[in-house]
Homo-oligomer: A and B are copies of this chain.
Amino acid sequence: MTITIKDVAKKANVAPSTVSRVISNSPRISERTKRKVRKVMDELNYHPNLNARSLANRSTKSIGLVLPPALDTSFHNPFFAEVIRGVTAYSNQKEYSLYFITGNNEKEVEQTVIKTVRGRRVDGIILLYSKENDTIIDYLNENKFPFVLVGKPYHSIEDITYIDNDNYAASREVTDYLIDHGHQKIAFIGGDRNLLVTKNRLRGFQDTMLLNGFTVSDEEIIFTSFTRDGGRNAVSQLLELEELPSAIVVTDDVLALGIISVLQEHTISVPSDISIVSFNNAIFAELANPPLTSVDINIYQLGYEASKNIISKIEEPDEIEKSIIVPHKLIVRGTSVKKENLELVSS
């Protein structure tokens, strides 16, 4: 039923090995026989069995894409769709396939990674998330299995190839921007406090505030989840402050969406009462109401570079791979304005 390399060989009057060489376009085969064999392959509508190939080959031409546990709220972040677009663009071009690795919880994800790696289903791995004490990273490192991380590692920074933005710098820029626009009392709302992104963006914010002589109290730093309830809690914590901030730095657009909506419920309007600047410039940022002022972190490129990196790591294992910092850019839209009643600042 299934037509194999032998069928092609027979019909083309060559040996199976010759057909194999034609498939991999070996230079040791004459153009003439290549043409002949290819013609037969077409006639027979032959397609190589990739499992057999991988087995003989020890190469799968696929890479594993590790996503956060599907039950995590973060799974829905448009961030992932966009990284995947970037990854796909390059890997498709290089004819690599993508294996989708996730699970309902962290344990499951790890099990799947191990099964996939040891089962030789993939040649390399792209980690689309990392958290503190990530056993997956440890596993891959110990087994010297090729992988790259989108984001920044918590430890062994020197040993891990990662693709990331300079989140600290981006956050400094954002804060500077707000300060330049007359804001002095600024709050910070972040997602999961254990994520390095959150930490770095917070640090950039705090440092910049301090450098400009503004203080930030603990109550003005809030961590919350990506739900409406999360937004609600964050806002009510904000409302308890004796003086409302005139601006908020929010670490993610989805978060910002929730915050804005809840603020509006309290008839606090954005940006006239409070300015908001968020991060990621998600696809809906410009569709939001008002459109979000957000830091474009080039998610697509993050994915593209990750793909490029892992593939070159697979194909040239000896080359030393450098981690990559992808540039960012603040996109000013409708959620941020100058604070007019502070003329002294514009001096």
What is A's interface to B at a CB cutoff of 8 Å? 47-55, 60, 65, 70-71, 75-76, 78, 80-82, 84-85, 88-89, 92, 97-104, 108, 112, 114-116, 118-121, 227-228, 231, 254, 257-258, 260-261, 264, 283-284, 286-291
Residues of B near A114 (CB, < 8 A) are 47
Are A88 and B103 in contact, with the CB atoms below 8 A?
A: yes
Are A100 and B100 in contact, with the CB atoms below 8 A?
A: yes
Residues of B near A104 (CB, < 8 A) are 88-89, 92
Residues of B near A98 (CB, < 8 A) are 99-100
Bound-complex Cα distance A254 to B283 (A): 10
Given contacts A52-B55, A60-B51, A100-B100, contact A231 B287 (CB under 8 A): yes
Are A288 and B257 in contact, with the CB atoms below 8 A?
A: yes
Are B78 and A76 in contact, with the CB atoms below 8 A?
A: yes
Q: Can you tell how many copies of this chain the complex includes?
A: 2
Residues of B near A254 (CB, < 8 A) are 284, 287
- A47-B118, A47-B119 given; name 8 further pairs at CB < 8 Å: A48-B119, A51-B51, A51-B54, A51-B120, A76-B78, A89-B104, A92-B104, A261-B287
A-B contact pairs, 29 of them (CB 8 A): A47-B119, A49-B55, A49-B120, A50-B119, A51-B54, A51-B120, A53-B119, A55-B55, A75-B81, A76-B81, A78-B78, A84-B100, A88-B102, A92-B104, A92-B108, A97-B100, A97-B101, A97-B121, A98-B99, A99-B99, A100-B100, A228-B286, A228-B287, A231-B287, A257-B284, A258-B287, A260-B289, A261-B288, A288-B288
Contact of A50 (CB < 8 Å), options: B108, B120, B227, B286:
B120
Give chain B nearest CB distance to A99 CB in angstroms: 6
Are B78 and A97 in contact, with the CB atoms below 8 A?
A: no
Are B92 and A261 in contact, with the CB atoms below 8 A?
A: no
User: For A97, A115, A289, which residue has the most chain B Cβ atoms within 10 angstroms?
Assistant: A289
Residues of B near A119 (CB, < 8 A) are 47-51, 53
Residues of B near A286 (CB, < 8 A) are 228
Given contacts A51-B60, A82-B76, A114-B47, contact A257 B100 (CB under 8 A): no
- Nearest CB in chain B to that of A78: its residue: B76
Bound-complex Cα distance A89 to B55 (A): 29
Give chain B nearest CB distance to A89 CB in angstroms: 6
Give chain B nearest CB distance to A247 CB in angstroms: 18
Are B287 and A264 in contact, with the CB atoms below 8 A?
A: no
- Nearest CB in chain B to that of A86: its residue: B70
Residues of B near A54 (CB, < 8 A) are 51
Bound-complex Cα distance A81 to B85 (A): 13
Are B257 and A65 in contact, with the CB atoms below 8 A?
A: no
- Nearest CB in chain B to that of A284: its residue: B257
Give chain B nearest CB distance to A98 CB in angstroms: 4
Are A257 and B108 in contact, with the CB atoms below 8 A?
A: no
Give chain B nearest CB distance to A150 CB in angstroms: 16
What 6 pairs across the A-B complex have the smallest Cβ distances?
A: A47-B118, A50-B119, A98-B100, A261-B289, A51-B54, A258-B287
